[in-house]
Amino acid sequence: MLENIEVVRVKRFAANPAGRDFAVGDIHGHFTRLQAALDSAGFDPAVDRLFSVGDLVDRGPECRDVLEWLARPWFHPVRGNHDDYVCRFDTCDAENWVYNGGAWFAGLAWDEQREFAVQFRELPVAIEVETVGGLIGIVHADCVFDTWAEMRKELEAPESNKRLKLVQNTCMWSRSRVENFDTAPVTDMRAVVVGHTPMKRPAVLGNVYHIDTAGWMPDRGYFTLLNLHTLETIPATRPALSQDWD
């Protein structure tokens, strides 16, 4: 079993006075494509920071590269539902995980699996980034509460709290906002940034920015970088792709 390390579930970052802050959607083992997106935005690792809505692994061909990325001091992901499988690798429904793209993990030696799990267990469920325009929240799927403060309080409950797992799972799995076109804002935040549900182009519901434009889907998706200072996206519009969707 893994040690019971103290997990910080909500991590706060001070404003970045030296460079730019970006958020990116689900990566799913496509780090070469991600790097290309960063290059085209002129990303400067000396001063810029990249926040990620999680789902770093599964499905794509470069899942093992994630450890190199986690070692980069400017790369700050939250935990997605696929990342959570890694955290729970020794207790989760492995068959269901393999079905959802987890075969790469099943092929690792046990001590390698354990190393991935140790690192992934450090991923916070939510990140807060201070910007000149106000506080921005990042979570994989959604903040289902009226306020971020409410969600934060729930996430900071002790491990023994029965609601904790439920709340964590809504943060990592919920699609209700997108499915219901729910435009109710998270009232105490400038913006909340999420991924999890692939979109043809970025969408804003209330003040919740959905930025997973399926950069991990060859031919039909692309990586969107959201500038957390300006809330503008790079690219600004959907590029021409070989396949389209309705």
For Mn ion, the binding residues (CB under 5 A) are 55, 80-81, 196
- In the complex, minimum distance from the CB of residue 22 to Mn ion, in angstroms, rounded to a whole number: 19
Exposed, middle or buried, 227 (CB in 10 Å: 0-12/13-18/19+)?
middle
Closer residue to Mn ion in complex, CB, 20/28: 28
Q: Respond yes or no on whether the N-terminal peptide bond of residue 124 is cis (omega within 30° of 0).
A: no
**Residue type for position 42:** G
Closer residue to Mn ion in complex, CB, 25/131: 25
- In the complex, minimum distance from the CB of residue 109 to Mn ion, in angstroms, rounded to a whole number: 26
- In the complex, minimum distance from the CB of residue 14 to Mn ion, in angstroms, rounded to a whole number: 28
- In the complex, minimum distance from the CB of residue 26 to Mn ion, in angstroms, rounded to a whole number: 6
**Residue type for position 163:** R
DSSP secondary structure letters along 116-151: HHHHHTTS-SEEEEEETTEEEEEESS---SSSHHHH
Closer residue to Mn ion in complex, CB, 41/66: 66
Closer residue to Mn ion in complex, CB, 131/197: 197
Please state, in angstroms and rounded to a whole number, the distance separating the CA atoms of residues 29 and 44.
22
